[in-house]
Amino acid sequence: MKISLNWLKKYVKIDVSDEDLIKLIGARLVEVEGVIDENAKYNNIYIVQVKSCEKIPDTHLTLCQIDVGIKDVAGVEKSDSGLVQVVCGAPNVREGMLAVWIAPGAIVPASVHEDAPFVIGKRKMRGYESNGMLAGADELDFGDDYSGIVEIDPATASAGDLLADVFELKDLILEIENKSLTHRPDCFGLIGLAREVAGILGVRFNEPDFSSSELDFLKTPYAGQLPLSVDIADSSICSRYTAIVLEKHGEIKKKYLTWQDTILSKSGMRPIDPIVDATNYLMLLTGQPLHAFDYDKFVAVSGASRPRIVVRLAREGEKLILLDGKDVVLQCNDIVITSNDVPVALAGAMGGASTEIDENTHKIILESATFSLYNLRKTQMAHGIFSEAITRFTKGQPACQTMMVAEKCAEMLSGGFKIVGGVDEYPEPEKRNVVKVTVFEINVLLGTKYSKDLIIKTLENVGFEIKTIERTRQKEQEKLSAKNNDGINKNDSELEIVVPAWRTDIHIKEDVIEEVGRLLGYENIVPTLPSHGTAVKNEMLELKTSTRDILKSYGANELLTYSFVSERLLTLAKQDAKNSYRIINSISPELQYVRQSIVPSLLEKAYLNQKLPVDNFALFEMNKVYQKEWGMDKEGVPVERTNLGFVVAERKTSGTAFYKAKMFVERYLAENNILAKFVPLKEKSAWAEPFEPKRSAEILVDDECIGVVGEFKNSVRHNFKLAEYLAGFELDLEKVLKYARSHRDIKISKEHESRDITIKTHSTYGEVVEAVEKILAEEKLVAKITPIAIYQPKDVKHISLHLEFDTKINEEIMHKLESFTK
Amino acid sequence: MVELDRLKLELKNLNTEYAKIREIAPEKRAEFGRKINAQKQDILERIKMAEQAMLDVEVEPLDITAPCAPNEELPQVYSVFDGSRHPLMTELDRVVEIYQLMGFDVVESRQLDDEYHMFDSLNFAKEHPARDGYDTFRTEEDLIPPAHTSTMQHRVLKANRKKLEQGKEIAVVVPGRVFRNEDVDATHEHTFYQCEGVYVSRDCNMGQMLGILREFFEKYYGQKLEIRTQPGYFPFTEPSLEFLIEKPKTLGGKKGDFLEMLGCGMIHPNVLKMAGIDPKEYHGFAWGGGIDRLVMLKYGLDDVRYFESGNLNFLKEFK
């Protein structure tokens, strides 16, 4: 939304600098996204009088002598009679008219924001010297009209005046972020904004007096002269509908450039014709959109003899051709204006083609109404209509001003139209909200010490009406007050606040407290620190932090990948998409399913990194996973698990990757003082699916499976186009946390001895170690056993182990160990 | 193997069958072609599956109890210099650590939640346009991958309300991953991280909220900071504010530069009520801000898409 500061200043007296004002607006009302400085936009552009016109033969051009009204203009030669020569191509140039002259050296205003602004010069056209140009509305940035040059009303200006002075064009335009006003329909009109600015500056806002209008049509004799009825099918879709019928009694000839044209342009709209301009101007001023129907077309559409406006929900499948020519199929949430049940307009969004006003329009129906913002939101989305009108309606315009604005519009058009009838249908007039709050409550929530008088004045400045009831504070509040040492006097005042009709957003005391805090400036609240207790630690978070550090120290890289995956990825990893929660409004098929485990996402990223290429790497991620088969938790939301996924991949290595992944997970678990057992993979759950059962293991602690480690199925590896040396693991971190110990038992031995042995065997490594431990146990010995190597020249494996004892041992036991073969 | 051979034979037969199309009446050819083609697709699909299955058949089992394969060296971890932590997680840890030092408990946010926690319990009126503003994803079951960490607020309040009765306060931060249905570009991600704060006590006020937030950012940036606010709007806080800090020196801030850091406000009485806390007795405040932006500012990153790219060239910069 664009706001002209000059226009704003017409409604509120501002005694701070523009810079300070913009800062205050930003801090206390709304986000100002940008400021467009138009102070220099109309430099060297003058009102001039055309003194003589002479057609240049064989061209559409006219040679004009103009009175520029000022003595000297740099670089311009005047004739002996003191006039300046300009060549003009416009058909409407004529002797005696007041026109707008862009002097040589000035920039064409419509081009000031372009990369290369267009500078007007002195040049020869068809052999005639032309000094600058006479400007059309399009060149001045006041619309798209390029049919002729702009004419100025002699009653408002004379030759030599600066255009910028006559129309107050030295201006700053504020660009307001609409989203920050979602809850403030009143601020979508200039008056509402001006009221807030008054409040921010601490002055009382003078409500512009619309009601002084002489055209109070319901009380005047012409009311009801022309039959017109309004039926609202359901007041929840349309709370109020005001309609005025206007009849033409003369031409509103648009001849001169007006101040209103400049306001429409500065606000980002365009002057079009007198009726549309009046409705647009009033919408910008009050926030209330208006619409004009051609009365005779409206009646003709229905086939009835008298006009009957029916506001109702559309019926599924009904059709309507809109003003922009689009043929739309209506949906059951759309509100339609109908002529005796025949749809003629999509309420709040756009009028229909069948009742469009044109140059032959004799009577118009002027609509000023409010519609359900909920329905209009859906209409907006369904039909993709983002007009200025619907932007305002979808904030929930208050019903209080429909009639007032319609009357004002009729008044503005009174030069060509007179009122011949009208209806105001307002089935359930809105009641004004009343909120009670005490001065104490306001100060307690804000942490301030504002006086009763200041609070009342602040609220009254923006239209709240307040009754004060004195009373003493309750005991509880006394205690609090003593604690805060707030210094407010003992007696508290209760404020009974009548909320202005346009503030449909204020219902409870906190809403009022916000108004006080905001208008007086949150920057005046002193930041303090509460004293409170200590925090408890979050063990899962600590585990994740330490996991990060441990795996990083092993040279692994932490990744984050999306929680949503494609059906393709699930299939590649052999997981069943039916076990994944499916997103119905996903951005793309790539992000359609909630992932069941972490490893598949890592395999996808492993491919990306092998292509970079990085030869050797280990990737890990800790994140939440969900599977449908886990069902719901106590709260009725899906069971959630936090998994650690890990993948190691090497491009140019041959060998058995399984042992690499196993070593990583074993060391990681050992850091958490977890001693795990590796048993053949029997798990049939989703996270085990990508793993090759013959080359993978379940990770057991106390017979509970806490994870899976291994190589992947060949098909999976092929699917992800990865090199052969590839393995990984996935751990359930809740279970890791369950078994993790902060420390292990230590035993500081006084003497120790270590031996290496080699055992020839057909057994597995695990069986050998178990056997060794058993033999040692028989001797009441304990050793730390670590592998040295496994050598297998033919059938028999040679397993070499390193044994560390915490005591001296005798040779006998070593013989026993060495002589044993399994 | 046998299965695969059989399928290949079947495919061959089908191709022979297809050649007969010339013998068929022209008007029936289209239907015939479609039928054969459907069968062909089916066989090709089955061949693909059989080939996949075959890949997985001839696999050598290994000794899962061993530390290495026979005749191979014992595996080693990589060099510590190759390792890295994800910058978002490092920052999240740091943020959380500061709040913990300030006495805040930590509860992690869920990544799949329901309408009640995401909207209803936060005073979003049914069908309120504010719900649209969050561009939420939805699952078939009408579950929501949360669009803000406030999805945990109701749980945090309910779980801790006993503390209030004991005369203590609720002080919790909620870090977590959130999701918005947004097209991705250099400054927008559909997946990002937030940290939420919730504070409730008998006597807390807006001054304390501003105090806590300023304290956090001063600790985080290691310098004194000017703060600023702008009015904001959230259905679950009243009053609502946008919180800004002076751009810190470490980020090249000059006098008068401000950064929008988060949204905050006093918890709406309806939100307290729904969690079983009497808003006449207790007040609270809450805030929430993005983590991704902190990291981008810190390292001068210009593209948010790096974070979930999984690209090691990027990640290895964060050792």
Across all residues in chain B, what is the average pLDDT? 92
Same domain assignment for residues A773 and A642: no
Give which of B71, B218, B312 is closest to A557, Cα–Cα.
B312
| ipTM score assigned to the predicted complex | 0.91
pLDDT value, residue A747: 80
Chain A touched by B304 (CB under 8 Å): no
B120 touches chain A (CB under 8 A): no
Do the Cβ atoms of A581 and B105 come within 8 Å? no
Which residue is associated with the tokens 């203590």? Answer: B168
Choose one of A739, A771, A796: the last residue of a domain: A739
pLDDT, position B27: 84
Lay out the sheet containing A62-67: strands in order across. A84-88, A62-67, A45-55, A98-102, A133-134
Instruction: Name the residue in chain B with its Cα closest to that of A615.
Output: B312
Per CB-CB distance under 8 Å, the chain A contacts of B99 are 535
Mark yes or no for CB contact B230/A563 under 8 Å. Answer: no
Cβ atoms < 10 Å from Cβ of A629: 11
Q: What is the DSSP string of A134-160?
A: EPBTTTTTS-S--SSB-B--TTT--TT
Structural domain includes residue A531 = no
Residues A598, A726 within the same domain? yes
Q: Which of residues 270-329 of A touch B (CB under 8 A)?
A: none
Q: In this prediction, what percent of chain B has a pLDDT beyond 90?
A: 73
From the list B104, B205, B283, which residue is nearest A535 (CB)?
A: B104
Tell me, yes or no, whether A212 lies in a domain: no
Average pLDDT along chain A: 91
Among B63, B230, B307, whose Cβ lies nearest the Cβ of A560?
B307
Q: How far is B24 from chain A (nearest CA, A)?
A: 39
Average pLDDT over residues A393-412: 91
pLDDT greater than 50 at residue B272: yes
B256 touches chain A (CB under 8 A): no
Domain boundary among A425, A460, A477: A425
Distance CA B284, CA B277 (A): 10
Same domain, yes or no: A243 and A261: yes
Domain co-membership, A572 together with A678? yes
> Using the beta-carbon criterion (under 8 Å), do B67 and A30 form an inter-chain contact?
no
| Cβ of residue A537 closer than 8 Å to a chain B Cβ | yes
Residue of B75, B86, B230 with shortest CB distance to A26: B230
Contact residues, chain A, for B119 at CB < 8 Å:
none
Look up residue A676 and give its amino acid. A
Q: Are residues A192 and A254 in the same domain?
A: no
Flag if A614 and B211 touch (Cβ within 8 Å).
no
Q: Into how many domains does chain A fold?
A: 6
> Is A532 within the bounds of a domain?
no
Rounded CA gap, A36 and A19, in Å?
A: 13
Test A510 with B238 for CB contact under 8 angstroms. Answer: yes
Q: Chain B: give the shortest CA distance to residue A309, in Å.
A: 28
Q: Find which of A485, A507, A525 to mutate to test the B interface (most B CBs within 10 Å of its CB).
A: A525
CB contact under 8 A, B67 and A180: no
Q: How far is B95 from chain A (nearest CA, A)?
A: 12
Tell whether A702 lies on the interface with B, counting CB pairs under 8 A.
no
Q: Are residues A181 and A104 in the same domain?
A: no
Residue A477, pLDDT score = 59
Instruction: State mean pLDDT over A125-139.
Output: 91
Residues A664 and A724 in one domain: yes
A47 touches chain B (CB under 8 A): no
Please indicate, yes or no, if residue A269 is contained in any of the structural domains: yes
Query: Three-state DSSP class for A698?
Result: strand
Is the CB of B113 inside 8 Å of chain A's CB atoms?
yes
**Closest partner CB to B308 (pick from A549, A561, A616):** A561
Q: Does the pLDDT value for residue A70 go beyond 90?
A: no
| Cβ contact, residue pair B133, A182, below 8 Å | yes
Residue A525's closest chain B neighbor by CA? B207
- What CATH code is carried by the domain that includes residue A178? 3.30.56.10
Q: A720 to chain B: which residues are within 8 Å by CB?
A: none
In a domain, A143, yes or no: yes
The answer to whether residues A478 and A544 belong to one domain is no
Among B172, B195, B153, which Cα is nearest to B292's?
Answer: B195
| Closest chain B residue to A27, measured at CA | B230
Residues A729-758, mean pLDDT to the nearest whole number:
90
Judge whether A196 lies within some domain: yes
B contacts of A718 (beta carbons < 8 Å): 52, 55
Reported as a pLDDT band with limits 50, 70 and 90, residue A214 is: very low
Whether B309 has a pLDDT exceeding 70, the answer reads yes
Give the rounded percent of residues in chain B with a pLDDT score beyond 70. Answer: 98
CB-based contact A27 B113, cutoff 8 Å: no
> What's the pLDDT band for A822 if we cut at 50, 70, 90?
low
Q: Which of A524, A556, A577 is the last residue of a domain?
A: A524
Which pLDDT tens digit goes with each residue over B220-251? 999 999 999 999 889 999 999 999 999 999 99
**Residue A476 pLDDT exceeds 70:** no
Residue B94 confidence (pLDDT)? 96
CATH code assigned at A109? 2.40.50.140
Is A270 within a domain?
A: yes
- Across the interface, of A28, A182, A538, the residue whose CB is closest to B233 is A182
B268 touches chain A (CB under 8 A): yes
A32: distance to nearest CA of chain B, Å? 10
pLDDT one-digit tens code per residue, B295-304: 999 999 999 9
Same domain, A496 and A365: no
Chain A residue with the nearest C-alpha to that of B256: A23
Rounded distance between C-alpha atoms, residue A711 and residue A530, angstroms: 54
Query: What is d(CA A478, CA A373) in angstroms, rounded to the nearest whole number?
Result: 44
Name which of A518, A695, A787 is nearest B62 (Cβ-Cβ): A695
Q: At what angle do helices B87-101 and B206-221 cross, to 10 degrees?
A: 130
Q: Indicate whether A568 and A458 sit together in one domain.
A: no
Over residues A426-455, the pLDDT tens digits come to 998 888 999 999 999 999 999 999 999 999
Residue A221's pLDDT band, with cuts at 50, 70 and 90, is low
CA nearest neighbour of A687 among A643, A725, A723, A648: A643
Report, as an integer, the average pLDDT of A649-658.
94
Q: What CA–CA distance (Å, rounded) separates B170 from B186?
A: 38
Q: For residue A768, what is the domain's CATH number?
A: 3.30.70.380
Query: Residue A736 pLDDT > 90, yes or no?
Result: yes
Please indicate, yes or no, whether residues A603 and A689 belong to a single structural domain of this protein: yes
Q: At residue A310, does pLDDT exceed 80?
A: yes
Query: What CATH number is attached to the domain comprising A256?
Result: 3.50.40.10
DSSP A625-677: E--GGG-B-TTSSB--EEEEEEEEEESS--S-HHHHHHHHHHHHHHHTT---E
Residue B125, chain A, CB below 8 Å: the answer is no
> In this complex, is the C-beta atom of A589 within 8 Å of any C-beta atom belonging to chain B?
no
Q: Do B68 and A787 touch (CB under 8 A)?
A: yes
Give the minimum alpha-carbon distance from B258 to chain A in angstroms, rounded to a whole number.
12
Residue contact A530–B212, C-beta within 8 A? yes
Same domain for A161 and A176? no
Q: Based on C-alpha coordinates, what's the Rg of chain A?
A: 41
Range of the domain at A184: 2-38+172-201
Residue A473's pLDDT is what?
61
pLDDT in tens, A159-204: 999 999 999 999 999 999 888 788 899 999 999 999 999 999 999 9
Query: Pick the residue with more confidence: B131 or A697?
Result: A697
Q: CB-CB: which of A28, A581, A765 is closest to B112? A: A581
Report the distance separating Cα B315 and Cα B311, nearest Å: 6
Instruction: Report pLDDT for A483.
Output: 54
B13/A223: higher pLDDT = B13
Full-model pTM: 0.86
- Residues of chain B neighbouring A517 (CB-CB closer than 8 A): 206, 239
What is the pLDDT, as a whole number, of residue B29? Answer: 83
Residue A217 lies in a domain: no
The reply to whether B231 touches chain A by the CB within 8 Å rule is: yes
Instruction: Check whether B145 has a pLDDT greater than 90.
Output: yes
Q: Does A548 touch chain B (CB under 8 A)?
A: yes
B132 touching A (Cβ < 8 Å): yes
User: Considering only residues 713 to 752 of chain A, which have any Cβ-Cβ distance to chain B shorter than 8 Å?
Assistant: 713-715, 718
**In the numeric block, which tokens belong to residue A35?**
């400021």
Q: Model confidence over B56-67: pLDDT tens digits?
A: 888 889 999 999
Return the bridge partners of B194, or none.
B176, B290
pLDDT at A581: 97
Please indicate if any CB of chain A lies within 8 Å of the CB of B310.
yes
